Amino acid sequence: MRKDLPIWLGTLAGGFVVATRWFSLVNATGIDRTADRLIVASYAAAAAVGFIGLTRVHLRAIEARRPLWGYSIVLLVAMYGYSGVLFLLPTSAPLPNWIFQNVMGPIFSTMYGLIAFFITSAAYRAFRVRSLESALLLAAAALALLGNSALGGRIWQGWDGVLAWIMAVPVTGGFRAVQVGAALGALGTAVRVLLGLERSHLGSPQA
């Protein structure tokens, strides 16, 4: 029963969504809008579950004085503090806006900026020419780097044309293959879930 009920629920919910997408007759009843409202409600419920789960995990870490438990306090203060501010004030009010621009903004920009350092390290250690394929990869990376930075077009006018060809032919072909493969894989998994054949999302077989 612990497994059968979730499987049947998944099959019914998935079949319902498929029917609303594929058959206009179903939508004529307005049931697709009901489905939309249910999805929105499930998002809100998932956020609430996440909030509660995060609180429990970090409260336990603080109680047990686990390593780095101080960061758990920071997390809870930030989460409840900002939620409280947004509960009391509209998003457009000065205080939430100040927190957004001057606290969250620099933190996220710093996180994003760290990518530059990892790229540098990877360029030094990983981009080694060991075969014809890796030499081609290195050449394509160099062309794309200079072309995207606008410097290539300044050095040689044909550079932009070369970059456009790389994007239109090998890149398009490569990504199309990846995307078609991923879509077929997703479709296969979806069919397995709908038919109740896929059970890994329900936990281990012993559960």
Partner 1 sequence: MTALQRLRHLDRRWLYLGALLVTAAGALWPLRIAPHPSAETRTAFDLAQALPSGAGVFVYVEYGLGSREELDPMLAAVLGHLASRHARIVIAARSPEASQVAETVMGEVAARFPAYADGYGGSWVNLGYRPAPDVALRAATNGIAAAYNGVDYAGRPLTGMPILQALPVLDHAHFALAYAFDSGDGFAPMIYYVGTPTRIPVMIGAISMEVPVLQPYLAAGQLAAVIGGARGAAEYEALAGQPRRADVLVGASAMAAVYVLAVMLLGNVVARLP
- Considering the complex, state which of residue 73 and residue 169 has its C-beta at the smaller distance from partner 1: 169
Exposure of 169 in the CB half-sphere (CA atoms within 13 A): 7
- Considering the complex, state which of residue 69 and residue 159 has its C-beta at the smaller distance from partner 1: 159
Contact between 121 and partner 1 per CB under 8 A: yes
- Considering the complex, state which of residue 22 and residue 100 has its C-beta at the smaller distance from partner 1: 100
Q: What are phi and psi of 84, to 5 degrees?
A: -65, -45
When computed from its CA atoms, the radius of gyration of the chain, rounded to whole angstroms, is 25
- Considering the complex, state which of residue 42 and residue 200 has its C-beta at the smaller distance from partner 1: 42
Region label for 129, one of left (φ > 0), alpha (ψ between -120 and 50) or beta (otherwise) = beta
How many angstroms separate the CA atoms of 39 and 200, rounded? 23
Name the residue among 57, 90, 59 with its Cα closest to residue 73.
Answer: 59
Shortest distance in whole angstroms from residue 93 CB to partner 1: 9
Contact between 29 and partner 1 per CB under 8 A: no
Contact between 62 and partner 1 per CB under 8 A: no
How many angstroms separate the CA atoms of 169 and 178, rounded? 14
Hey, which residues between 167 and 196 contact partner 1 (CB under 8 A)? 167-168, 171-172, 175-176, 179
Contact between 92 and partner 1 per CB under 8 A: yes
DSSP code for 23: -
Shortest distance in whole angstroms from residue 54 CB to partner 1: 17
- Considering the complex, state which of residue 60 and residue 154 has its C-beta at the smaller distance from partner 1: 154
Amino acid letter, 145: L
Exposure of 141 in the CB half-sphere (CA atoms within 13 A): 13
Residues forming contacts to partner 1 in the complex (CB under 8 A) are: 33, 36, 39-40, 42-44, 47, 90-92, 97, 100-101, 104-105, 107-109, 111-112, 116-117, 119-121, 123-125, 127-129, 138, 141-142, 145-146, 148-151, 153-154, 157, 160, 164, 167-168, 171-172, 175-176, 179
